[in-house]
Copies of this chain bind each other. A is one copy, B any other.
Amino acid sequence: EKNFFLLAGPCAIEGEAMAMQIAETVTGIADRLKIPYIFKGSFKKANRSRVDSFTGIGDEKALRILKKVSEHFGVPTVTDIHEIDDAAMAAEYVDVLQIPAFLVRQTDLVVAAANTGKVVNLKKGQFMSPESMKHAVAKVTDSGNSQVLITDRGTMFGYQDLIVDFRGVPVMKQFAPVVLDVTHSLQQPNQASGVTGGRPELIETIARAGIATGVDGIFIETHFDPASAKSDGANMLPLDQLERLLTRLTALRQTVNDF
């Protein structure tokens, strides 16, 4: 029976060399484990805590790198969009358009993404219930696009913490395939420093719970050296830990497939 699928890559496209290296490594692992793989990279970081945070290397430049990854490794790609005009632009380069969690209530943006005909990946707002994602999905399908995913990246718990509510997995699977974003789910937002913290040592714990509860896909931000990454360094998985993690998740998935 079939394995879960994987959205993985660096938080932001920092340059061509790093994108190609990460894609090569992850493609190799995914091939060995028979995991359908979608390369992930942001062409722009638009919602940083502070104005002096890194926001990208240039939109078109980053998008062209995504296209090159796709062609070179034969994998689909996903990127996130923040403005209505981004939808048509990004759709020329990638296969999946992702709506960030903070923006999933912006009807015009969701509809613009839907209208490209690309797959739309809706991040569940940290302030939304699993049940309420039904309405977000309907904005895509009512636009005539039936290709939609929901990605859970945790729910606000107090000011500086997020919890994944696994009760939401079967609830949201009624609306669309469900992906668990295991790296952002472990963020610790609203830190006094203005830099989001994280608990990456718990990635495997959260990912295992996701597979056990039946998620269809796993989303992981990964980097050769998270500490040197230009964004989200606190949460990414070191790339050399990825194969062990995916091997275990594949084993769990096979067990669940037999239920």
| A135: contacting residue among B49, B129, B156, CB under 8 A | B49
Give the nearest-CB partner of A201 in chain B: B170
Interface residues of A in 100-120 (CB under 8 A from B): 102-103, 105-108, 111
Q: Are A212 and B159 in contact (CB under 8 A)?
A: no
Kindly provide the distance from the CB of A207 to the nearest chain B CB, expressed in whole angstroms: 9
Q: Are A252 and B255 in contact (CB under 8 A)?
A: yes
Residues 150-190 of chain A, each 1 if its beta carbon lies under 8 Å from chain B, else 0: 00000111111101111101100000000000000010011
Q: Are A157 and B157 in contact (CB under 8 A)?
A: yes
Q: Are B202 and A208 in contact (CB under 8 A)?
A: no
Q: Specify the main secondary structure of chain A where it touches its partner.
A: loop
Query: What residues of chain B lie closer than 8 Å to A31, measured between beta carbons?
Result: none
Q: Are B190 and A51 in contact (CB under 8 A)?
A: no
Q: Are A108 and B82 in contact (CB under 8 A)?
A: yes
Q: Are A252 and B159 in contact (CB under 8 A)?
A: no
Known A-B contacts A135-B194, A158-B159; A166 and B205 likewise in contact (beta carbons under 8 Å): yes
Residues 198-216 of chain A, each 1 if its beta carbon lies under 8 Å from chain B, else 0: 0100100110110111100
A131: Cβ under 8 A from any B Cβ? yes
Kindly provide the distance from the CB of A61 to the nearest chain B CB, expressed in whole angstroms: 17
Q: Are B157 and A202 in contact (CB under 8 A)?
A: no
9 A-B contacts (beta carbon < 8 Å): A51-B142, A103-B106, A127-B127, A134-B194, A157-B159, A157-B165, A166-B206, A212-B213, A251-B258
